Amino acid sequence: MKLEKIVDSMRDDIIKATQELVQVRSIEGNPEPGAPFGNEIRRCLDKSLDICRELGFKTEIFDGFAGHAEYGEGDEIVGILVHLDIVPEGSGWSHDPYGGDIADGKIYGRGTIDDKGPAAAAIYALKAVVDSGVKFNRRVRIIIGCDEESGRWGCMKHYFKHAEAPMCGFSPDADFPIINSEMGILIFNLEKEFEPNEDSRCGGLRIKRIQGGNKVNMVPDYCECELEMKKDFTDRVIKTVEYMKNEQNMKLEMEIRDDKCIIKSYGISAHGATPGKGVNAISQLISCICKLPLCVSEQTEYVNFLNSSIGMEIDGKSFGVAMSDEVSGNLVFNLGTIDMSDKKGSVGINIRYPVTKTGKEVYDIIRRKSSEAGIKVIEGNGQDPLYVPADNFMIKILQKVYENVTGQKADLISIGGGTYARAIKNAVAFGPLFPGKEETAHQKDEYIEVDDLMKCTKMFAEAIYELVK
């Protein structure tokens, strides 16, 4: 009860801190000295550490890769791992994505739920425990990363080369109650270089370019294709687009400019770990153009492969990688980006695979099917699965906290997302999204409810108290 009252007294400060962090457009930029992920991310990191210093915490920054704020004494460290980098805002917002506007009890903006609001909650949760007067028998570190969304985690790799690793902790970057299972993650490109094709006998539509998607771990909400018409296929294109709109419920637009046709596809953005909550603009567009009379070419073969092997699926079935287990469920497949010209095609794929499987198992299938089509698999970032047994001491403590604060049972759940919990031992994801609440991370009009932000702060304060007393 004492901690709850202390947190309530900080309400305005918690909201203000969240807004100040959201107002920095901390998207990955060009590396600069002291700012390896770009100046805006560094500015957001500095702002977070300024807040921590004002609250009396010891702070340290690690060459701009990451930072931490610490309080307490003892040989052991409890870590709370958050991140300040964000994915691009995308389109279609009804609020300024960097305004931190408050409406209907919600703070709107990119990063409010993922992960700036939770970062502010963790900072003030630690302050609440300090103000409660409890004796700290362990140190608490809020570890602030700057390269989570890329999947590379260069921030954590650099940080743990120069700093002690916590003996336990949690990352408030997913869902409540407690996530003890995180699926493995693969990020890769499917690429093919095209031979020049100047066959004047081609009587169909020639693909000049296709571009779409912002990040591989986002469901793309926009994609655009330019087609060159050697003959007038206007009526055919119009009928095909209208059919896809009316019969397949796709949001498409088209423009005819002399001998060029532009087709635009509009989807709904969502997190790459939950593509079923979005609509994939790239997959829509490819499905549409594959119904047109395209020239026989390597470009056409490439998009036909994407359509037949991926299409609108999110389980990898047609690619041959559909798999599941009892712990974490079905594999998740997201086609996140496409950049295709008349010289080369490249699509970015993000896969979340079950915890009892291995990345090698998935890659073996991907390579075999791709090679048959003359397509190269270019491996990118990846993360092994996380699984923390139910009898782990951290889970027992967090179950107690969650049930005391909410009065609800603290079930263990599995997600396709990847959190910093993978970076240390004895760690799980803990919040900030409460059961039954709308998931808006990586979507337009991302928000966090003010009441939930306060409840998170109280939850984190109780967890810190239990871990340090």
Give catalytic residue positions.
85, 148
Beta carbons of 402 and 182 less than 8 angstroms apart? no
Nearest-Å Rg of the Cα atoms of the chain is 24
Nearest 5°: the CA angle 169, 84, 134 is: 40
Q: How far apart are CA 453 and CA 448, in angstroms?
A: 7
Tell the burial category of 275 from Cβ atoms under 10 Å away from its Cβ (0-12, 13-18, 19+).
buried
| Rounded-to-integer distance, Cα 386 and Cα 203, Å | 53
- Whether the ω angle into residue 101 lies within 30 degrees of 0, i.e. cis, is no
CA distances to 10, 118, 146, 413 from 416, in Å: 34, 19, 21, 10
Check if the beta carbon of residue 452 is closer than 8 Å to that of residue 434.
yes
User: Which amino acid, 181?
Assistant: S
CA gap 238, 253 in Å, rounded: 10
Instruction: With beta carbons less than 8 A apart as the criterion, state whether 386 and 152 touch.
Output: no
